[in-house]
Amino acid sequence: MNNSRKLMQLVKNNCQNRDQVGYQVKQQSPLANAGESRPAFLIYDVIDPWWGVSAEMIKRDLLSITDATDIDVYINSPGGDVFEATAIYSSLKAHSAKIHVHIDGIAASAATRIALAGDTIEIADSGFYMIHYAWTLALGNAQEIRDTADMLDKVDNTIVNDYEKRTDAGEEQVRSWMKNETWFTAQEALEHGFVDSIMQDGASDKTTNKAWDLTSYQNAPKPPQDKFEQRERLERFANMLLTTG
């Protein structure tokens, strides 16, 4: 129940401002060459069938793309519904195009499941990549709840297997990372094999700049406090010198 509340809180915290478009499909990626059919998917939202990016949205748009040899997927997401993410992963893997994943900010939780679909994966220098054991919501009698837990074990097993293949890390190491809700910096994600490269500054096509509420997670990196406090003190001191000089 505790993780169920956390998942609900994660979605609630990050769905307050729906004016920002969190999902878009561009007919031409900024990385497309002249005359090339190379669309781009922008996943800048929670992964959720009601309040964010759903598997149905992704599948519908992928089915309409028949002539592309490459597709760019841009991700900045705090995660969400593991089953939706698994369906998105499967849809991307099933497409005939080569999938290029670009993590512009955060790929956390279920969003990493989507990122795994990439034939190539890169991350912004200041990005984060977080993995943990899957959460979900469950309603019903005791047997139905047990069945849901068994299903989560199966989901975790498939994700562990995919992380193992992606990183060449052993099962014990991957499960330890997941158990401890591990947040990897871009460099750590590269060193462990979760990504292939780190983006150069200005290389990504950032059309939004969303800061996610990550308080539902246990080990999320803390945002800097009083970010401009030192600069403001210096500015006040400089202004004082100007007025008294």
> Token pair for residue 121?
């994966």
Catalytic residue among 132, 192, 204, 216: 132
Catalytic residue among 54, 77, 109, 216: 109
H-helix or E-strand spanning residue 101: strand 98-108
132 noted as active-site residue: yes
Maximum CA pair distance of the chain? 79
Beta-bridge partner residues of 23: 43
H-helix or E-strand spanning residue 112: helix 110-115
Q: How far apart are alpha carbons 82 and 112 in whole angstroms? A: 10
> Cα angle vertex 218, ends 217, 221, to 5°?
80
Say if residues 78 and 97 touch (Cβ distance below 8 Å).
Answer: no
Q: Which residues are catalytic?
A: 109, 132
